Amino acid sequence: MKQPADIVYHKLTSEEQGLLDRIKRDTRDLNQNNVTRTKAYFDLYQKHPEIHWAFLGHMVSRNGGWNMTDLKGDLLTRLLTDKERNAYFTFIERGNWLIFQDAYPQLLLYDESLKRNKPLFYLLPYLNISSFMETIWNYFWRKRDSYVLTMALVINEQNYLEKRVIQNPAYKKDVLNTLEFKLQDYLSFNHILFPYQKKSLAGQTLHQFQSLQERILLGKRLYAVLFQKKELLNQFVLWAGSHRHTGSRKDYWPHIFNNVNEGIPGIPYQLRLNACKLRWGAKKIYSPDLLSAWKNVQHQEAEKGDWFRDWQAADYLSEHTETQINGEIEYEYCKTLERLELAALAKKVITIFD
């Protein structure tokens, strides 16, 4: 497997340079916000269903959007200050943006390789893609192993985020080390939800967001939830294709959430849920559309550098660590919503630690 120092650059032809410029432009145009990114992943998956990561990325990106709009919804506006909510949004948005600008060019280069019937992955270094992925894409071109490619992309993206976001001193100070973020972990707010059928949810929960290993293992479990059963996969894809991503949690549970605020300003919060059903006469929980909640962000250029240093990163590619994964999450998620409601009612979530 190539090490960063082994990359050999050559003088690009005008055709190669034109292709790279087009990939960069198309990626930039679709990297406007969480809604455009999420749609782009699904569009590519529909075009190339052998690229399983594109659907995994789509479904996880939906969750990123829901987390963003939660910061402007009924519950977290009562628990966090404006400064905290803005810091959390910047943190989620930066990660969402970084992954797209790293992963999507790889998907476009694969698409172009198919059109030309020859692998073009030697161009990946010119897009600042890790040398790890050049090896993997060439392997996929020969073997068409969708699992290995998906896991490699999970490994790549989580390592890519590690120094740029997770170990970034500003995010550590303003987000990761704050009591509220630790409280989210304590209350299991880090649910990744995969809707299917009518009102049904599957998914997994991440308990140690700052652990690179835990995030990669979560990716393996999420992949298993989506792809281990063909019948269930078809239901996930059917749901995604029939529910446009808006960022509002109304997308999957319109019986509980609404993108229109039904509450009355100044009125103290009242409990609305009982066993994930609205109490009699209760207002729905406000969950706004992303585009009405947050403006598009102008990002600084992604930090340069290749995370890949040794072969150990490839250890996660093996399938033996995960067998059948139980994706049941509705009960746990309902309990989390109830805890969130109680915290909003108390309006002083910090007392849990007093």
Query: What string of pLDDT tens digits covers the 354 residues of the chain?
Result: 555 445 667 789 999 999 999 999 999 999 999 999 999 999 999 999 999 999 999 999 999 999 999 999 999 998 888 999 999 999 999 999 999 999 999 999 999 999 999 999 999 999 999 999 999 999 999 999 999 999 999 999 999 999 899 999 888 888 888 877 777 766 666 899 999 998 899 999 988 888 999 999 999 999 999 999 999 999 999 999 999 999 999 999 999 999 999 988 777 888 999 999 999 999 999 999 999 999 999 999 999 999 999 878 888 888 754 557 889 999 999 999 998 999 888 875 443 443
DSSP 228: S
Residues found in the chain? 354
DSSP 272: -
Joined tokens for residue 197: 């059928």
DSSP 283: P
Buried-state track 187-199, b at ≥16 Cβ within 10 A, e below 16 = eebbbbbbbbeee
Neighbouring residues of 190: CB distance < 8 A, sequence distance ≥ 6: 184, 205, 206, 207, 209
Q: Nearest CA to 91 among 64, 62, 54?
A: 64
Give the distance from CA 332 to its chain's centroid: 20
Torsion 168-290-65-245 (CA) sign: negative
Integer Cα distance of 219 and 221 in angstroms: 5
Integer Cα distance of 244 and 251 in angstroms: 8
Neighbouring residues of 298: CB distance < 8 A, sequence distance ≥ 6: none
pTM of the model: 0.93
Joined tokens for residue 219: 């990716």
